[in-house]
Structure 1
Amino acid sequence: MSSLPINPPPRLLMGPGPINADPRVLRAMSAQLIGQYDPAMTDYMTETQALYRQVWATTNEATLLVDGTSRAGIEAAIVSLVKPGDRVLVPVFGRFGHLLVEIAERAGADVHTIETEWGQVFPVSVIANAIARVKPRLLAVVYGDTATTMNQPLDELGEICARHGALFYTDATASLGGNDFAMDAWGLDAATAGLQKCLSGPSGSAPISLSERAVAVIRGRTKVEAGIALETDEASPDVIRSNYFDLGQILDYWGPRRLNHHTEATSMLYGARECARIILAEGRQAVIDRHALAGLAMLAGVQGLGLQVFGDVTHKMNNVVAVEIPAGIDGDRARAALLADFGVEIGTSFGPLAGRVWRIGTMGYNARKDAVLTTLAALENVLRRGGVRAGTSGAGVDAALEVYEG
């Protein structure tokens, strides 16, 4: 029995991610493979590091890629920075805060949490008080949580962490590229992301940047070099408990010595490099502004359809909005109709929001006027067929157009 070639149906991915990759990224990923120590390959690695320093707004030398999805970057950061028994503070305001908790607990950390209602963010004073009380080794915060669509302000937290001797890490998977981000200015020690949201690529590569302070912590823990154990007590609780996610070894691979740790995922490197190149060619701030405009247009459009927006809109991410599923309509059936009849995908949610909201993204390559208007027109039709009065005919599209034309 022979299998047919892969031939995915056409889709407009307007959920919380992944999104449609920019065609230029897909073309870059189809380029010829070369050896991992070919001078062209190591040049591409060096170029990728330089490009992502600009994307992150940092001068960190330790700016590179972790091979794997965005979760690989998260795990690499936490397992490399945290030893068993270290106190970690995680402010939880959505699903992905719980993910940080789980990964830190698996690393053996003494994890402390504060929580707020989904759809809200923390006042800086609440996090500051928790830092003073817990005295964590690491503050780990999700920047934008797509489960709730909220963006937690980070700009004041770096100074607070520095004052209390805590490292400061953020998961910027869903936010980087589409929302304001200033690694150095905000005093971050570590940040990780993924390609599949505002960076316009596929899942499978995790950009990461580390401050000198973070690198010093990692270097102090790494007990192997190029896969060879050094003379040390291997039972020491300070040994990084992962080989694949040992950032000390990964730093050596990306550094001037090019010590082998793994075989770099060449095609993903090409894609990640192209994601950053495209952002910088358009202009880093221009890309953020494009996401902000698309987000405002989608927000106006769903409100024009009479849908209730979930959460604190003043802290909503630029690139995704959550709307309450109208009474009397089957949310999953409506999403299925949107996909089957229009080829448009939107998302549902998790935990306390499961079956309660739809999440509609405007991110990366899909943060475009035509994508916004197509989604709103299709959603209006599905709502009407489901028996929901969606304002006057064309109200969602008209409201979005007012934003674009205003």
Structure 2
Amino acid sequence: MNSQLPGPIDPPARLLMGPGPISAYPSVLRAMGAPLVGQYDPFMTATMTETQDLYRQVWGTGNDATLLIDGTSRAGIEAAMLSLIRPGDRVLVPVFGRFGHLLAEIAERALAEVHTIEVPWGQVFPVSAIREAVERVKPHLVACVQGDTSTTMLQPLDEIGEICRAHGALFYTDATASLGGNPFEMDAWGLDAATAGLQKCLGGPSGSAPISLSERAVEVVRSRARVEAGIREEGDAVASDFIRSNYFDLAMILDYWGPRRLNHHTEATTMLYGARECARVLLLEGRDAVIARHRLHGDAMLAGVEGLGLTVFGDVAHKMTNVVAVEIPEGVVGDAVRSELLSDFGIEIGTSFGPLHGRVWRIGTMGYNARTDAVLTTLAALEAVLRRHGATVAPGGGVEAAQGVYAAARS
């Protein structure tokens, strides 16, 4: 026996109360321990079909092209954008946080002509600003994040689809941080493409990216595939004429998930099981009920941090239900507080990026952790650590304020 080998995996107990990933639903972890089957086993293909139907309900859509991309949420973003954009296409990206910059970067890698508009971090765009930009840029695609965890802001989407349709633009959103914990109505809002991940409000692990495409988006994907096939046949292909990735080529992935089941890759069986269970758990509780649960515990956490005397960052009226950004008190070393919360209490909260790095903590209440005991435990632990670091906080103020929100909800 090789005594140098490590032992079996044995992660420490953690309460993940950051901006994601979060603690998964126990039933999701159990589902991921189910036996593997072959990729064309009737059970496997039936499970893929079931999962597609479940996510249609999660997204609020009738789109046939609703499926999973094997990979993290960024895999879904790249699959959507690389497949919808051809070199030279104009792409408009409203940027209100780090992940808007990510969408712009991916569009640039697809050789698009990228146009951005920006608001200060902590704000969202009024619909008038997006309308003006669409009229001015005349984009092929408008790519917008719904909920940007770097700022905790939630961009209203309900009027943007109509603007895009009126000007012949496709409308795509990254809903990684928001889907499942905030309202989302793909068809009613006129979205052509949307992607997400499991590791936030859906309550699973990172590694599978739900995606849905409208018929209009599918036709763009298919027409691009036909053009590229013609270029290949003529033998005068130029590198910039083709999608950059085989793996993320939605035309082929649609064929894999479609009735013909044309082989593209070997589906990640364990992640399929997990993604299916994430959707099943959400729909079993009810979409509206899950959103209301996220709102309740998000409101309790918001009241709790304010009850401690901490300042909340950004426009609270446009905050996601599932995460709050808290200004780090003056004189307190933010990373030291995070480290002690983890080492002493087993609780993880997040820092942030860019102009907010070292300025705020991000505290999440999402998925399985959108529950009373997780909120109260986190607030009590945060108070204890802040006191140790010399911060002035109201004794018991965080837990008391949160309990007030719960009491009001029960009355």
Q: Same fold (TM over 0.5)?
A: yes
| Cα distance between partner residues in 1 of 2:241 and 2:180 | 34
Is the partner of 1:222 in helix, strand or coil? helix
Shift in Å, 1:230: 6.8
Q: Distance in 1 between matches of 2:150 and 2:268?
A: 29
1:236: Cα distance to partner?
7.8
Moved more, 108-117 or 215-224: 215-224
Partner of residue 281 from structure 1, selected from 280, 284, 302: 284
| 1:241 shift after superposition | 2.6
Q: Does 1:396 align with 2:384?
A: no
Which secondary structure state, in structure 2, belongs to the residue aligned with residue 231 of structure 1?
helix
1:48 aligns with 2:51: yes
Residue 154 (str. 1) matches residue 157 (str. 2) = yes
RMSD, aligned CA: 1.5
Give the secondary structure class of the aligned counterpart of 1:373: helix
Deviation by residue 1:70-118 (Cα, 9 ceiling, x = unmatched): 0000000000000000000000000000000110000000000001100
- Does structure 2 retain, via aligned residues, the 8 Å contact 1:223–1:232? no
Q: Does 1:267 align with 2:292?
A: no
Work out whether residues 221 and 238 of structure 1, in 8 Å CA contact, stay in contact via their aligned partners in 2: no
Q: Distance in 2 between matches of 1:218 and 1:384?
A: 56
CA distance in 2, matches of 1:300, 1:254: 45
Deviation sequence 1:225-250 (CA, Å, 0-9, x none): 9x9x9735543855323100000000
C-alpha distance in 2 between matches for 1:338 and 1:246: 43
CA distance in 1 between counterparts of 2:341 and 2:5 reads: 32
1:260-284 residue CA offsets vs partner (Å, 9 max, x unmatched): 0000000000000000000000011
The answer on 1:112 being equivalent to 2:110 is no
Q: Which 5+ residue runs of structure 2 have no aligned equivalent?
A: none
Q: What are the equivalent positions in structure 2 for 1:235-246 lying under 5 Å apart?
A: 235=238, 238-246=241-249
* Equivalent residue for 2:371, pick from 368, 379, 383: 368
Map of 1:6-405 to 2, 5 A cutoff?
6-223=9-226, 231=233, 234-235=237-238, 238-391=241-394, 393-405=395-407
1:347-372 CA-partner distances (Å, limit 9, x unpaired): 00000000000000000110001100
Distance 1:148 1:133, change over 3 A: same
Number of positions where the alignment pairs a residue of Structure 1 with one of Structure 2: 404
User: What percentage of aligned pairs have identical amino acids?
Assistant: 75
C-alpha distance in 2, partners of 1:240/1:100?
17
Cα distance in 2 for partners of 1:265, 1:3 equals 26
Deviation of 1:2 (Å): 1.6
Cα deviation, residue 4, structure 1 = 1.4
Q: Is the 8 A contact 1:14 1:346 kept in 2?
A: yes
Amino acid at match of 1:167: L
